[in-house]
């Protein structure tokens, strides 16, 4: 864990307390254990979990610097990334995790209970369904997702959840810049405007990574998101 503590501080200015490190150690233990029974993530060894899950989650901090979100929604969270590691570091942040796969949603719930985290909820739902619910629609400062779908599809999942003046953050691999360019039309339809592409370097990871930041500049038209499955079948 020493390398993770050092890298989080050096790369992303995230200072992990002893208590937060204990939470991450327990999270890692649960993930490795559950992974033997259910296929939650392809990343299975401790070192890769620390770099490609924990550290990668903390790269989001580059996007908001000293001004973290009050309310954050993590769509397609999988085994809880980046939402749970961010919650560990920002105990006052209200976090909502959205996951459509039952066993992954169940694992997230288990981790939250095991770590005793408060003010964080797991919603077992499709992104398109939650985006039409009044209690979630346009109610988050930031909506984040990691490698869930192509950006033109992802924008339809995330932007309806972001309030005016808020930000959508997509964690992307090397296709980030090309995807961002081709998704600008979709972003505009949904009330978003491409703001920035932030390169991210993770130690020992060769491929380029990017944070794609999209600002919410106008309200999302009521017909979006369309019904579950449609964005994927006929992207904007």
User: Per residue in 173-195, pLDDT tens?
Assistant: 999 999 999 999 999 999 999 99
Tell whether pTM > 0.75: yes
Q: Give residue 71's domain range.
A: 2-233
Q: Reading across the β-sheet that carries 94-99, which strands appear in turn?
A: 120-124, 94-99, 71-75, 140-146, 162-172, 209-216, 192-200
Task: Give pLDDT, residue 214.
Answer: 98
**CATH number, position 121:** 3.40.50.150
**Percent of the chain, pLDDT > 90?**
91
**Mean per-residue pLDDT over the chain, rounded:** 96
Separation between Cα atoms, residue 181 and residue 154, nearest integer Å: 14
Q: pLDDT tens, 16-67? A: 999 999 999 999 999 999 999 888 888 888 899 999 999 999 999 999 988 9
Q: What is the pLDDT, as a whole number, of residue 45?
A: 87
Question: CB of 81 within 8 A of CB of 146?
Answer: yes
């Amino acid at each position: 864990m020493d390398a993770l503590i050092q890298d989080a501080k050096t790369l992303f200015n995230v200072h992990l307390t002893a208590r937060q490190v204990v939470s991450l150690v327990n999270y890692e233990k649960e993930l490795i254990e559950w992974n033997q029974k259910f296929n939650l993530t392809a990343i299975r060894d401790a070192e890769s979990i620390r770099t490609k899950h924990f550290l990668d989650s903390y790269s989001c901090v580059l996007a908001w610097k000293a001004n973290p979100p009050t309310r954050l929604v993590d769509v397609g969270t999988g085994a809880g990334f980046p939402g749970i590691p961010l919650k560990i570091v920002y105990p006052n942040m209200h976090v909502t995790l959205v996951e459509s796969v039952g066993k992954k949603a169940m694992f997230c719930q288990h981790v939250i209970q095991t770590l005793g985290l408060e003010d964080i909820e797991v919603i077992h739902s499709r992104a398109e369904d939650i985006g039409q619910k009044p209690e979630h629609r346009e109610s988050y400062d930031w909506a984040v997702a990691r490698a869930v779908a192509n950006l033109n599809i992802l924008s339809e999942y995330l932007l309806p959840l972001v309030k005016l003046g808020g930000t959508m953050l997509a964690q992307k691999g090397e296709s980030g810049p090309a995807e961002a360019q081709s998704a600008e039309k979709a972003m505009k339809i949904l009330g978003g405007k491409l703001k920035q592409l932030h390169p991210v370097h993770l130690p020992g990871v060769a491929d380029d990574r990017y944070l794609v930041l999209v600002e919410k500049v106008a309200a999302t038209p009521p017909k979006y998101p369309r019904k579950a499955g449609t964005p994927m079948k006929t992207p904007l």
